[in-house]
Amino acid sequence: MFGRVIAAMVTPLKEDGSVNYAMAEQLAAHLVDSGNDGLVVCGTTGESPTLTWDEEYELFQVVQKAIAPKGRVIAGTGSNSTTEAISATQKAARLGLDGSLQVVPYYNRPPQEGLYRHFAAIAKAVPEMPIMLYNIPGRTGRNLEPETIARLSELGNIVAIKEASGDLEQVCAIRSLTPDRFMIYSGEDSLTLPMLALGAAGVVSVASHLVAQPLQRLIQAFESGQVAQARALQLQLFPLFKVLFCTTNPIPIKAALQLQGWPVGPLRSPLCELSAEQQQQLEQVMSQLQLI
């Protein structure tokens, strides 16, 4: 439904901090042309915490225009308020987008039953919108447990999860408890191959801004039984995966795009630029992989 390699797209900004919609259009088209099957717009990598709903809604439309029908658009419309998430998802659904990314509610730390009711309410309110859950306990402070995911997978339009807990035992449990049609996506580039071995469908990737085609080859190699080739690609790309998380995402990937000549602009406060040492590390890895 969503493809194998999906870029968690950055949000280009102008020097004054406003959204650069023209650059977002160009970057979105480039990401799909360079091998991404689709884009998550206004997720964590897109600096969603500091975007307004109006900015996000405009970005959805700009990206949809830039890549449809070649690439799929998954709108980050999650919130720690169920009412807000429903409203944002309903508005996105009216655009005819391909899906919605729904993050685990953050800061208020609901119990598992509260999480189930939150996501079920969104699914019921927007039955026409395919939903990808997003589990990232390192940011939200709450893990979406496999048993809760299994309950949610029984709802018709909750079709996938971006799993970024970093816990392979959790991935194994999710795959064991959910139907085959329910898609698991790695939320961490460095765990793409291990998660494929446990039944994942692909990756929602930061690195695919730079290496979408190698990631596609990695997945294709694994699925065709060429495990050694897939492993070689994983190990080749591993230094990039690590350096892109040398500090808070999306700081490194925006710096990497700047190195490639993409004027994606600054970050919104409270995020800030790389240190000189981190910048040097990033340049070294990108140079070794012939990305600059």
* Residues classed as catalytic: 134, 162
Q: How many CA atoms lie within 13 A of 187 on its CB side?
A: 26
Give the pair of three-digit tokens for residue 203. Answer: 């990756």
Q: What are phi and psi of 277, to 5 degrees?
A: -65, -45
Q: How, if at all, do strands 5-8 and 38-41 pair?
A: parallel
Amino acid at 66: A
d(CA 98, CA 190): 26
User: Residue 153: left if φ>0, alpha if ψ -120 to 50, beta else—which one?
Assistant: alpha
d(CA 89, CA 3): 21
d(CA 279, CA 253): 11
**H-state helical runs in 13-111:** 21-33, 53-67, 82-93
d(CA 256, CA 282): 7
d(CA 266, CA 6): 23
Q: Is 169 exposed, middle or buried (0-12, 13-18, 19+ CB in 10 A)?
A: exposed
User: In this structure, are residues 74 and 100 in contact, taking their beta carbons and an 8 Å threshold?
Assistant: yes
Residue whose structure tokens are 């977002």: 24
Residue 233: how many other CB atoms lie within 10 Å: 23
